[in-house]
A and B are shown apart, each in its own frame.
Chain A
Amino acid sequence: MNSSILAGEFVARGRSESCSVIDMHGHYGPFWGIYLPKPYADGMLDSMDLCGVSATVCSSHSALVDQERGNREMAEVVKQHPGRFYGYRVVNPNYPKQAAKEVERYPEDAGFLGFKFHPDQHSYPLTGEGYVPALQYAEAHRLVVLTHSWGHSEYDGPKLVQQVAERYPQVTLIMGHSGYGEWDAAFAAARDCSNVYLDLTAAYRVNGIIARMVKEVGSQKVLFGTDLPWFDPHWAIGSVCFSRITDEDRHNILHRNAERLMAPFRATPRAQ
């Protein structure tokens, strides 16, 4: 039987008083390929409350297509729910002029941690020129960049993530989905680069992978994420709770690492 105190609390009550979860990989709004029962702020907050998630860092689905309109939408949500929603500003490198404007506009909105890249959705390599302005800005201002990554992708596989991390050492680079499926390369990047973090989103569902992350990389480099409003945070929390790791590791993953990364943005929400 699992003797974890945290697992017992989450199974019994759905949340833990000692473990206020932070979700570092969220989205916002409806999305073309999936029925989402709760895509907007009220539904997402409802799920966060049910699961004991204090804050979610999101990017707008709309911004994956129209970055200006979507980022504006996300900024409005963050403004309306300070402390519950934080933002990533999406950069779509297929439209370089608009992307440059989105980088210029970054300081306008409080509650943003940095940028969101989705090279697979945009069919554009993470190492391409189109991402350089955002990465240079993030490097200069020590921002966070959450990039989608997927195993063996020509656009955002973990080896490309490592290349970018080495080029921009001041950027905190969150490897979304931990390079799903190309685990050894993803773990190597997180081990070799102090600025690379593994993100649990979707990866958490793979049996035994969280224990491998903790063993091979360390729980200090693993961040909790769910893709909310896609995936039920309880599914992801359950994966953490029923992995063969310690409660100290669970605290690191579920909130402590995120608290550490978010501290500068909470103290000075507008990164200048």
Chain B
Amino acid sequence: MDWFDCNVGYGIARVPPAGGFAATPEELLEELGFCGVAEALVTHAAIRDESAQAGNHLVAEETSAHPRLHPIWAILPPQAGELGSVGDFLSDMRQHGVKALIAYPDEHRYLLNSLTLGPLLEEMTARRTPLIVGPKWAALTALLAEFPNLVVIVVGHGSWGEDRYYRPLMERYPGFHVDTANYALDGGVKAAVDRYGPERLLYGSGFPELQMGGSLLMVAQADVSEEAKAAIAGGNLRRLLAEVKLS
């Protein structure tokens, strides 16, 4: 199985995870290797805990020598200009090969809506750039009504099973995806695949907060076809990233 993790991080956080973490890309690669994961979309803890400016710079610089690691950058409201203009930001993404963006609206204190992020979200929609975000269901429901073709990957949802929140979005918006990191619901993967096909689920580990091998074994042994497993394990993410236009 060709594993491509859509939800993994490294770096020093304000509060270290209870059971350990990877401080460097090299340590993260060792952990990925232990679990047999080939590639990963990667954030740096500094993006969330320190600043988007510092973290975006760190993850681009530190992963540049590691082709198995693909940097994710955080977005901020362009009105304050902290990451430059929308045009500057897109240009920087192209320069550093950044193909996915992440939003931390609560931690970074902004509203995930068109008033705040409209021009950037329009560009992301046109360029097929995935927006990675936690399970902010009310905000996402409103946002997707305004940007129905935006590619979205919701990560870290569902220790209590959040099908009642996410299924309406999956039924209406073809660019809506969820990861498997915390989606441990028994029979959840099969139920989702049976109803929506395998294209909408992406393997994510949630490392370093979550144990990398849990979600992996769940997907590897899900009661679905081998083709469906391969799509979830990495095929879907590869397809989404291949569709991204950097310019």
Which residues from chain A contact B33 at a C-beta distance below 8 Å?
Answer: 1
* Beta-carbon contact of B35 and A2 below 8 Å: yes
* Beta-carbon contact of B210 and A206 below 8 Å: yes
Contact of A14 with B by CB under 8 A:
yes
Contact of B134 with A by CB under 8 A:
no
* Beta-carbon contact of A230 and B20 below 8 Å: no
Within the assembled complex, what's the spacing in Å between the Cα atoms of A205 and B163?
20
* Beta-carbon contact of B217 and A208 below 8 Å: no
* Beta-carbon contact of A35 and B163 below 8 Å: yes
In the complex, chain A residues 201-234 whose Cβ is within 8 Å of any chain B Cβ: 202, 204-212, 226, 228-234
In the complex, chain A residues 25-69 whose Cβ is within 8 Å of any chain B Cβ: 33-38, 43, 47, 50-51
CB distance from B98 to the nearest CB of A (A): 25
* Beta-carbon contact of B190 and A37 below 8 Å: yes
Contact of A243 with B by CB under 8 A:
yes
Which residues from chain B contact A35 at a C-beta distance below 8 Å?
Answer: 161, 163-164, 185
Within the assembled complex, what's the spacing in Å between the Cα atoms of A14 and B222?
9
Which residues from chain B contact A51 at a C-beta distance below 8 Å?
Answer: 221
Which residues from chain A contact B100 at a C-beta distance below 8 Å?
Answer: none
Contact of B241 with A by CB under 8 A:
no
Known contacts A37-B191, A206-B18, A208-B19: does B213 contact A231 (CB below 8 Å)? no
Which residues from chain A contact B222 at a C-beta distance below 8 Å?
Answer: 234
Residue from A14, A36, A230, A239 having most chain B Cβ neighbours under 10 A = A239
Which residues from chain B contact A210 at a C-beta distance below 8 Å?
Answer: 19, 211
CB distance from B169 to the nearest CB of A (A): 15
Contact of A185 with B by CB under 8 A:
no
Contact of A269 with B by CB under 8 A:
no
Contact of A74 with B by CB under 8 A:
no
Known contacts A1-B33, A241-B213, A242-B211: does B185 contact A207 (CB below 8 Å)? no
CB distance from B19 to the nearest CB of A (A): 2
CB distance from A260 to the nearest CB of B (A): 25
Known contacts A231-B186, A232-B187: does B17 contact A238 (CB below 8 Å)? no
Which residues from chain A contact B191 at a C-beta distance below 8 Å?
Answer: 37
Contact of B36 with A by CB under 8 A:
yes
Minimum CB distance partner of B160 in chain A = A34
Within the assembled complex, what's the spacing in Å between the Cα atoms of A160 and B187?
34
Known contacts A50-B223, A239-B211, A242-B35: does B187 contact A205 (CB below 8 Å)? no
* Beta-carbon contact of B35 and A37 below 8 Å: no
CB distance from A6 to the nearest CB of B (A): 11
Q: Can you list, as one digit per residue, whether each of B189-217 has a CB less than 8 Å from chain A (1) or not (0)?
A: 11100000000000000011111111111
Within the assembled complex, what's the spacing in Å between the Cα atoms of A241 and B17?
20
Q: Can you list, as one digit per residue, whether each of B151-174 has a CB less than 8 Å from chain A (1) or not (0)?
A: 000000001110110000000000
Contact of B218 with A by CB under 8 A:
yes
Contact of A10 with B by CB under 8 A:
yes
Select which of A38, A207, A212 is within 8 A of B212 by beta carbon. Answer: A207
Within the assembled complex, what's the spacing in Å between the Cα atoms of A43 and B160?
18
- In the complex, 27 of the A-B residue pairs with CB atoms within 8 angstroms, ordered by the A residue number, are A1-B36, A2-B35, A11-B217, A11-B221, A34-B161, A34-B185, A35-B161, A36-B187, A37-B188, A38-B187, A50-B223, A204-B214, A206-B18, A206-B19, A207-B20, A210-B211, A212-B18, A230-B185, A231-B184, A231-B185, A232-B184, A235-B214, A236-B214, A238-B214, A238-B216, A242-B213, A242-B216
Going nearest first, the 4 A-B pairs with the smallest beta carbon separation are A208-B19, A242-B213, A238-B217, A37-B187
A residues at B contact (CB < 8 Å): 1-2, 7, 10-11, 14, 33-38, 43, 47, 50-51, 181, 183, 202, 204-212, 226, 228-239, 241-243
